[in-house]
Structure 1
Amino acid sequence: MRLAGAGTSGWDKGAPGGVKSSKNAWNTAGDGVGRLGGNVKQALTTLEQGQKGMGAQGVLSAAAQREVYQSWKHYLDGMTGRCAALQERLEKAGNHQYKGDQQITEAFDEMKKQYKDTPATGGQNAGR
């Protein structure tokens, strides 16, 4: 699927096949990503509340739990930032703040540099 304006000189002309850029579609996508980011923040808050009182020193299970907590906190903090960055780009595209498809592509490519996907876990044969 091509974005509107791909290969044309303007957004209003649409891409081959009659696909047009819709402000509503971009903004709806941005809104959905924003809600997801809010849900992730809520999960992080719940995780932080569950962490309270887990300060027993010298207990191996408490140490392991702190390590897991820090790992998830780091992951969820990153996901919250990624949702905010994606929402911003989607809304800018919907409001035609980018100057065509090239600038949209560059904005999303820049985000790929900042937020690298983590490798998949489980289900891999690990060279077996």
Structure 2
Amino acid sequence: MASFDLEWAGLKQQAAGSPEMHLASAAPDGGSGGGGGGGGGNGDLTSDKAVWNRASKDLAGLSTSVKGGVGALETGQKGAALAGVESAAAQAELYQSWKTYLDSLAGKCTSLQGPLEKAGQGQYENDEAIKGGFAQIDAQYKDTPATGGSDGGR
């Protein structure tokens, strides 16, 4: 078997040649980037509040689904605890372990919703501040026409 370093180098080389592995950037006009023109890497990468909000909403949906799973687990548990049966005791212990895990997972999903929205808001505000800063520089330092006449369409 190849060493980790060789295997990692091979994976990186594969990823570099794979179009699916390239980051697509947002188009300057606000449209989606990456389609046509050869993908990302043109310096126009921006954050999008809608994406962060969507991730937050998706987590809310996941939390709801997990809570539904806990409910189904609880329903299935009813009547399973027969006194004196070893498998019933093991099953009750397994049930409690899964219930604890799923309750914790649902709680984590819920607790991540707010921070995701705030992260998106902070990045959006940062993008707008950066864009505004460059616009101010562009307004202050206009390019001057080339000396020596026309560039001949070059």
Band the TM-score falls in, shorter-chain normalisation: 0.5 to 0.7
Q: Using the alignment, how far apart are the partners of 1:17 and 1:53 within structure 2?
A: 61
In the alignment, what sits opposite 1:20? 46
Structure 2: stretches of 5+ with no match in the other structure: 1-22, 24-41, 127-154
Paired position in structure 2 for 1:43: 69
Q: Structure 1-normalised TM-score?
A: 0.60
Kindly provide the amino acid, as one letter, of the partner of residue 50 in structure 1.
G
Give distance in 1, aligned partners of 2:81 and 2:115.
40
Take 1:17 and 1:75, find their aligned partners in 2: how far apart are those partners? 42
Could you list the per-position Cα deviations for residues 5-37 of structure 1 after superposition, in whole angstroms to 9, with x for gaps in the alignment?
A: xxxxxxxxxxx9222221101001111111111
What is the CA–CA distance in structure 2 between the aligned matches of 1:45 and 1:82, rounded to whole Å?
A: 18
Which residue matches 2:135? none
The code of the aligned residue for 1:41 comes to K
Q: Please give the root-mean-square deviation of Cα atoms over the aligned residues, in Å.
A: 2.3
Where in structure 1 do 4 or more consecutive aligned residues deviate above 4 Å?
none
Distance, in Å, in 1 between the alignment partners of 2:75 and 2:121 is 38
> Shift in Å at residue 63 of structure 1?
0.3
Aligned residues: 86
Larger radius of gyration: 2
Which residue is equivalent to 1:34?
60
Partner Cα separation in structure 1 for residue 105 and residue 72 of structure 2: 16
The TM-score normalised by the length of structure 2 is: 0.50
Q: SS in structure 1 opposite 2:46? A: coil
Shift of 1:42: 0.4
Per-residue CA deviations over 1:101-124 (Å, capped at 9, x if unaligned) read xxxxxxxxxxxxxxxxxxxxxxxx
Letter of the 1:89 counterpart? P
Runs (5+) with no aligned partner, structure 1: 2-15, 101-128
Give the distance between the partners of 1:95 and 1:60, measured in 2 at CA. 54
Among candidates 50, 59, 70, match of residue 96 of structure 2: 70
1:57 matched to 2:83? yes
Counterpart AA for 1:33: L
Q: Percent identity at matched positions?
A: 48
Q: Distance in 2 between matches of 1:17 and 1:84?
A: 34
Deviations 1:26-69 (A, max 9, x none): 00111111111111000000001111112211101100110110
